Amino acid sequence: MGRILLGADFGTSQVNVVALDVKTGQTIGFSSSPYRSGVIEKTLPDGTKLPRGFALQDPSDWLDGLFEATKKLIEETRIPEKEIISIGVSFTSCTVLPVDVFGTPLCMIGDLSKNPHAWPKLWRHTTAQPQANLLTSIAQERGEPFLDFYGGKMGAEWLWPKLLELVQEAPELVPSIEYFVEAGDWIVWQLTGHQVRNQCAAGYKACWVEGAGYPGHDYFASISQELADLSDKSRGIEVLPPGRPAGKLIKDMAGKMGLRTGIPVASAVIDAQSAVAGAGVFEPNIMTIVMGSSNCHLVMSKQERLFVGYAGAVKDGILDGYWGYEAGQPAMSDMLEWFVNTIAPISFYERANEDETEFATVLDRYLSEVPAGSNGVLALDWMGGNRSVLLDSSLSGVFAGLTLQTRAEDMYKALAEASAFGTRKIIETFRAGGVEIKQIVATGALPITSPSLIQIYADVLGMPISVPDTNNATGRGAAIIGGLSAGMEKLGHKSRESYFKALLPRTLDWCKPHEANKNLYNDIYNDYLTLHDMFGGTQRVLARLRERGKA
């Protein structure tokens, strides 16, 4: 009987491959490979200039990275190929690409590669806000019931707005498109030779509702006949919940990965959703905050609750048997990196040299040294727009309270506090909508590298926060969820509960709120809400400013 679960996690900048021991949950091996082209934001490989706000990727980077990382892991660990039980896949979402009938990305077909819309659009490609607005307004006019599961709006990051953007701006590509597919589903297609859709991404990013399917043909046709026709091509493709077998590893892929043929491959999952399992959260009413380039907030519940403010409510979207509720903030580490690259003064770097420590440690020290409230500076963390609770990618960030005495470290802490205030707004919206949240778990690289950031969150939220001892919960979760595709007998467990229990990571930290900061943040949060409602409501100044910035 095998003992190793493989998880392949496709992030924004690299692919990570994780090997877990199915009995102990121990990480047996880890390997990563960066994408050669990274995020394509300025020009295509042929020099074609991209519009501002475009975020594309090269699909060959995904496969090359997977082959390299997997082979490296097998070589380093010397895991016998017969020991590998299953393969799980997690991927950023909504990252989507147009392909032909054989699954070939259009960007790999001759002169089509010169068209930006032929390339995969990364999750943070948000130029489809006008299309999202149109899709939302028409759905509202028609009384489309699917909107109830998405807080009443469609997000610019999602599949249908991105496809409509392609149809409207590059109609010459439409005859070449057979499918517009999530990148996670495309990877599984390449690994198995079999095309399926994963219920996680279909539910959260393509408005697929169990029992009803995708939004109807007539709805799409009322906007664009081409959009309706393309939507029809996906309707007959099987949609699988997380952990269901999608197929088995084919010979060609096995050879390139250094594995044996026939290994079960599970349906893909969104990377943030996979991190829930990777962080050891298998019970309802525990919010997992996945902190990476963005923040994603996920909680499972036994009850269906429909309200305004979440980004999606999907039955069996995270794990079978639960409703999975999602919210998010589009910029977390991306926002902090913006500060470092744009505002951080030379004194920050000089301190790292003087303290003989890493730059990340210096940043964390500033978060603990600057008093709560950032010496009067308050921010809105909308550098990447607002995903929750406003679902408006056209919004932009704000600093308020700047004076001639304001320091760079005050501004840095204000951004960290703003992200915590945004999370508190999300939690309060969930609770008001009937979704109970009893506990908070924070996972990702930031909770480990910046404990002071987690202390700010605990103080602002007024709740303890646990941090699991894993810096790759997404890859770990991909392996765990992927293991379900092999069945309990091959996993050596009698039940899903015993399987999950064996794979729990230990808790690295348990951060409790400081009472004095908690009380102060309660007052500052009211000021945050004033800014939130002022700039996020009918006042459209931030959207206009972002639009002017594109010129």
Q: What angle do CA 500, 502, 507 make, to 5 degrees?
A: 90
* Pairing verdict, β 239-240 and 197-198: parallel
**N residues, the chain:** 551
What is the widest separation between alpha-carbon atoms in the chain? 68
Q: Is 164 helix (H, G, I), strand (E, B) or coil?
A: helix
Buried b (16+ CB within 10 A) or exposed e, 256-278: ebebeeebbbbbbbbbbbbbbbb
Residue 51 has which token pair? 């519009």
| Segments in 450-514 forming alpha helices (H) | 451-461, 473-483, 488-491, 496-502
Residue 109 has which token pair? 């077909």
Please choose, from the candidates 436, 442, 462, the residue with its C-alpha nearest in 3D space to the C-alpha of residue 514: 462
- CA distances, 297 to each of 61, 288, 292, 311, 514 (Å): 28, 6, 11, 10, 23
Q: What angle do CA 39, 45, 48 make, to 5 degrees?
A: 100
The string of DSSP codes covering 416-438 is: HHHHHHHHHHHHHHHHHTT----
Q: What angle do CA 423, 429, 435 make, to 5 degrees?
A: 105
Q: Which pairs from 245-251 meet CB under 8 Å and 24+ separation?
A: 245/485, 245/486, 246/188, 246/192, 246/194, 246/196, 246/198, 246/485, 247/188, 247/191, 247/192, 247/193, 247/194, 247/196, 248/192, 249/87, 249/191, 249/192, 250/191, 250/192, 250/193
Domains contained in the chain, CATH given: 4-270 (3.30.420.40), 333-426+514-549 (3.30.420.40)
- CA distances, 57 to each of 37, 202, 534 (Å): 7, 21, 36
**The pLDDT value given to residue 508:** 85
**The pLDDT value given to residue 124:** 94
**What is the distance of C-alpha 505 from the center of its chain?**
21
**The pLDDT value given to residue 538:** 80
Query: Tokens 């149809």 map to which residue?
Result: 167
Q: What is the C-alpha to C-alpha distance for residues 524 and 392, in angstroms, rounded to an integer? A: 24
* Residue numbers in the chain where pLDDT is lower than 70: 1, 551
**The pLDDT value given to residue 106:** 99
Q: What is the C-alpha to C-alpha distance for residues 450 and 447, in angstroms, rounded to an integer? A: 5
**The pLDDT value given to residue 1:** 63
Q: What is the C-alpha to C-alpha distance for residues 209 and 93, in angstroms, rounded to an integer? A: 17
Question: In this structure, what DSSP letter does residue 512 have?
Answer: P
Return the axis-axis angle of helices 129-142 and 159-169, rounded to nearest 10°. 110
Q: Which residues are registered as beta bridge partners of 8?
A: 17, 89
Please choose, from the candidates 281, 322, 265, the residue with its C-alpha nearest in 3D space to the C-alpha of residue 484: 265
Q: What is the C-alpha to C-alpha distance for residues 349 and 266, in angstroms, rounded to an integer? A: 45
Q: What angle do CA 381, 275, 74 make, to 5 degrees?
A: 125
Residue type, position 355, single letter? D
Query: Tokens 């999950």 map to which residue?
Result: 500
Number of H helices and E strands in the chain, helices first, is 20, 20
What is the pTM for the complete model shown? 0.94
Q: Which residues are registered as beta bridge partners of 510?
A: 466
* Pairing verdict, β 312-315 and 295-301: unpaired
Please choose, from the candidates 328, 318, 329, 243, the residue with its C-alpha nearest in 3D space to the C-alpha of residue 281: 318
Q: Is 463 helix (H, G, I), strand (E, B) or coil?
A: coil
Q: With contact defined as beta carbons under 8 Å apart, do 196 and 240 qualify?
A: yes
Instruction: Report cis status (omega within 30 of 0) of the bond before 94.
Output: yes
